[in-house]
Amino acid sequence: MKLKTIWTMPACTLREKLHRTGEWSMRGIAHRLPARLKYWVFIDVGAANIRSDEIVPDVRYTEILQRMER
């Protein structure tokens, strides 16, 4: 979603617009991070959110993201 779209939506509250703007900013920053840093963040999130009884190749990426703390 573009920033202009976020701020011109009449149905959104100010709080929702601020939240969406923050998420838009974080996506932009994450997109510009070096690939090596993205890789290690991915590994760290996976290691922190996989259970000890799971086999690594069998766990789906979406499951790990759902377990991740917000």
Structure-block tokens of residue 28: 């932009």
Task: Note the Cα 33 to chain centre separation in Å.
Answer: 13
Nearest to 55 by CA among 68, 46, 44: 46
What does the alpha-carbon distance between residue 23 and residue 17 come to, in Å, rounded to a whole number? 10
Q: When comparing pLDDT for 15 and 56, which is higher?
A: 15
Which helix (DSSP H) or strand (DSSP E) does residue 54 occupy?
none
- Torsion sign, CA atoms 47, 50, 51, 57: negative
Task: Note the Cα 9 to chain centre separation in Å.
Answer: 23
pLDDT at residue 14 above 80? yes
pLDDT digits (tens, 9 = 90+) for 16-36: 999 999 999 999 999 999 999
pLDDT of 29 reads 95
